[in-house]
Amino acid sequence: MLFDINPSAAVPIYRQIIDQVRRMVAGGLLKPGDELPSVRSVAAQHAVNPMTVSKAYSLLEAEGLAMRQRGVGMVIAQRQPVRELPDRLELLRPSLQAAAQHARQLEIPMRDALALFKNELEGDKQ
Amino acid sequence: MTMTQPQLIPPLAAMSDDPVLLEDVTLAYGDIIALNNASLRLPTGSVVGLAGSNGAGKSSLIRCLLGLTLPQSGRIRLLGEDPRELSDAARARLGYVPQTPELIEWMKVDQHLDYIGAFYPDWDAARVADWCAKWDLPPRQKVAGLSLGQKQKLSLLLALGHAPQLLVLDEPVASFDPLMRREFMRTLFDETPDRTVLISSHLLSDLERVISHLVLMKNGRVLLVDEWDALNENLRRVVSPIRLPSGPGVLAQHTGSEDTTAVIDTRQFPLSDLPSGARQVMAMNLDELFVELMS
């Protein structure tokens, strides 16, 4: 399994790793029991600081998404954490921040941006 | 461009065993002020990128830290000691790569490595030989005949061979190609836990890969010190129709004919405090941050 890391992105490397694992778990590409590559191998492959990879893995562990298994390393947890609404809102925040940035760049009035988001939300229900 | 008071955010609580400590260091050559009350403290295990324009004081800061230049005033501790009276024990824990390789030109590469290695009880000749092979550094070649890139490799090996706890690198990779620069960055983390690294470089995209902390220097001052992840997540470039109130959290602002471009730290200046009509709230990579704060 390979992470896609862009060190020159405006998003910290540890966050890029966390977001990818979250998305891959949500999308079923990573299943409970699947191993994550070792800190060493990720750091060596991308020539990044091992502490950065460690930090991402520790946060994934704290979140309950992954767990440390003796002799194996990090694996995707069997039971994915039941997320309370505030946690789930936090997961949504990064994509909304990006959307807000785009809206500002395009100078879209807030009313229209909100209407569009509402429309998208309702569209999903149908 | 106006700049508010330099912000010194200590990376971690003061620890007596911090490997690098500079307090209010001032260095002048005649009328030219190279360091202007520069202060810096690096915690053990940090990998610190030292960035700034040419003449910002990066090399002066490194030279003062290592005791190679004597500042007019200020306090400096290197591995807990006065850098000008460094004990052999501290010297054995220190590795330094100068901006221009300082090599003995008439020696052969392997001779040179053995000569320097003899000064260090922990010199790992086998690893050094491995690196030579991996980095295409011909051991039997005379130093005088090496290319600049090869001399930099040799200079790097001379600093790495004893697995130092503190590694200070002044523009170490300028003559390396991208592959060798990657290889070099992997080497920084090779089997020496808790190594502290101070690396000055203009190659900001290289620094972004490896640094835990960023130090930005301007006009002989340390302008900014913080964890790079925190800066990446909290500094934003904004365009505002009016100037922002200067104070903590506004790192720089530049007023043009139409509007004001500013860099804010959202930990001290929340986005909700921006004036109405502010737009283009952008996260920045290191290159972009450098341009905004240095120009």
What is the DSSP code string of B209-231? HH-SEEEEEETTEEEEEEEHHHH
Percent of chain B whose pLDDT exceeds 70: 95
pLDDT (0 to 100) of residue B52:
94
Region B87-116: mean pLDDT is 94
Return the domain boundaries, chain B. Answer: 2-103+162-228, 104-161, 231-294
| A66, A92: one domain | no
- Read off the pLDDT of each residue in A42-56 and give the average, rounded to a whole number: 93
Q: Which CATH number fits domain B2-103+162-228: 3.40.50.300, 3.10.180.10, 3.30.565.10, 2.40.30.10?
A: 3.40.50.300
The whole-number pLDDT of residue B271 equals 87
Confidence of residue A83 (pLDDT cuts 50, 70, 90): low
Residue B149, pLDDT > 80, answer yes
Chain A residues lying within 8 Å of B47, measured CB to CB: 49, 51
The pLDDT score that the predictor gives to residue B11 is 42
Q: Is residue A4 part of a domain?
A: no
Calculate mean pLDDT across residues B128-144: 94
A48 neighbourhood in chain B, CB within 8 Å:
185, 209-210
Question: What is the pLDDT, as a whole number, of residue A103?
Answer: 87
Residues above pLDDT 90, as percent of chain B: 74
Top residue of A8, A108, A110 to mutate, by most chain B CBs within 10 Å, is A8
Domain membership of residue A2 (yes or no) is no
User: Are residues B285 and A48, on separate chains, in Cβ contact within 8 Å?
Assistant: no
Mean pLDDT over A44-67 rounds to: 93
pLDDT (tens digit, 9 = 90+) per residue, B62-91? 999 999 999 999 999 999 999 999 999 999
Instruction: Check A8 against B233: CB less than 8 A apart.
Output: no
* Residue B185 contacts A, CB cutoff 8 Å: yes
Question: What's the rounded mean pLDDT across residues B35-57?
Answer: 94
pLDDT at B14: 47
Q: Is B124 a residue whose pLDDT tops 90?
A: yes
Q: Which amino acid is it at A35? A: E
Give φ, ψ of B259 to 5 degrees: -155, 180
What pLDDT score does B16 carry?
A: 60
- Do A90 and A71 share a structural domain? no
**Of A76, A99, A117, which residue sits at a domain end?**
A76
pLDDT of res. A93: 84
- As a whole number, the mean pLDDT across chain B is 90
Task: Provide the shortest C-alpha distance from residue A48 to chain B (in Å).
Answer: 5
pLDDT tier, A82 (very low <50, low <70, confident <90, very high otherwise): low
Question: 3-class DSSP state for residue B41?
Answer: strand
* Alpha-carbon gap, residue B148 to B142, rounded angstroms: 13
Burial (CB count <10 Å: 0-12, 13-18, 19+), residue B35? buried
Per-residue pLDDT, B9: 41
Q: What is the pLDDT of residue A81?
A: 67
Domain carrying residue A50 = 13-76
Asked if the model's pLDDT at residue A25 lies above 80, the reply is yes
What is the structure's pLDDT at B280?
Answer: 77
Structure confidence at residue B3 (pLDDT):
42
Q: Which residue has tokens 């600049």?
A: B148
* Residues A90, A59 share a domain: no
Smallest CA–CA separation between B107 and chain A, in Å? 33
How many Cβ pairs closer than 8 A exist between chain A and B?
A: 63
Could you tell me which residues come within 8 angstroms of residue A50 by beta carbon, excluding any fewer than 6 positions away? A39, A40, A43, B189
The answer, for A52 touching chain B at a CB cutoff of 8 Å, is: yes
